[in-house]
Structure 1
């Protein structure tokens, strides 16, 4: 079952237990500007889109997961040259759904443990997509190579022979003082 969801629709909430049990899929295309928390502190965003999908799944042990993918091209500010640039966001993530807050911190310190999110009967899909979008942006964004840093090397102008000081000039001055 595939549904399409846009910002502001009543169907933006799901019951995660039912969603993962049925293996439901939900997808959408939401304006970049609809994600207010994401835009805080960023340059003015173009009229771009976040294309996303969410699929529920369960493993053989009965654990519930959300498989999320999203693509976007937000404008970030390079922290080296302070110029804006378009950053390609391409997320594909598997997040475990837990039913109690105490389960969120299980396996603390285990780098291989899946990310976890607290599920429920009224899980806000677009807030979850926004969280994934925020996590996809680097803490210190920067160009691969800053445009202002790319300069054509300039060869130094040759100094004519007759204007170069002699390395022995200082010795000649010392000799004349004595």
Structure 2
């Protein structure tokens, strides 16, 4: 049977049973939170993604439902070292195992090495793609090597001179000598 699957309302079990594949190209601007990380820049940049369903132990009482997700994007950000633009490559290549409900996912999460999600007949795959790409965004985006030398310290001789505390005994000396 050749079923049609939608990435915004994915029947995860049927997708895995058919060992189906979905792929597509979206824009960074299609993902509001991802676009916000790029400060509204690069909204037309592509987000390539693909998903593959897989059913392990299909004849078992509780077969395992898997979706393998891949996604790639390049976000324009600001280097936190030199404050110049930097393109940050984001890549996701991760399998997800789907379980009966949220309680099962929470109970098995500590022992499972894989990521667990609750199975759904209307799963939003694009939401998962955005979530996973957001987790790949570095906390501090920066160039490997900045294009221009970075001044890592600032020195202002006038500031240093103005902020030097006055010796209180020098003021007493001036008062004693009748200068003040």
2:34 equivalent in structure 1? 38
Tell me the TM-score normalized by structure 2: 0.70
CA spacing shift, 1:107–1:91, aligned 2, 3 Å: same
SS of 1:53's equivalent in the other structure is: strand
Tell me the TM-score normalized by structure 1: 0.70
* 1:104 Cα deviation from its structure 2 partner: 2.3
2:96 equivalent in structure 1? 95
Which segments of 5 or more consecutive residues in structure 1 lack a partner in the other structure? 152-178
1:115 equivalent in structure 2? 115
**Contact 1:77-1:84 within 8 A present in 2 as well:** yes
1:48 equivalent in structure 2? 45
* Distance in 2 (alpha carbons) for counterparts of 1:2 and 1:45: 37
* Distance in 1 (alpha carbons) for counterparts of 2:149 and 2:30: 34
2:159 equivalent in structure 1? none
2:146 equivalent in structure 1? 146
* 1:108 Cα deviation from its structure 2 partner: 4.6
1:27 and 2:23 matched: yes
SS of 2:17's equivalent in the other structure is: helix
2:176 equivalent in structure 1? none
SS of 1:82's equivalent in the other structure is: coil
Which segments of 5 or more consecutive residues in structure 2 lack a partner in the other structure? 152-180
Task: Give the length in aligned residue pairs.
Answer: 145
SS of 2:50's equivalent in the other structure is: strand
SS of 1:127's equivalent in the other structure is: helix
CA spacing shift, 1:42–1:2, aligned 2, 3 Å: farther
* Distance in 2 (alpha carbons) for counterparts of 1:2 and 1:49: 27
Answer with 66-75 or 54-63: which moved more.
54-63
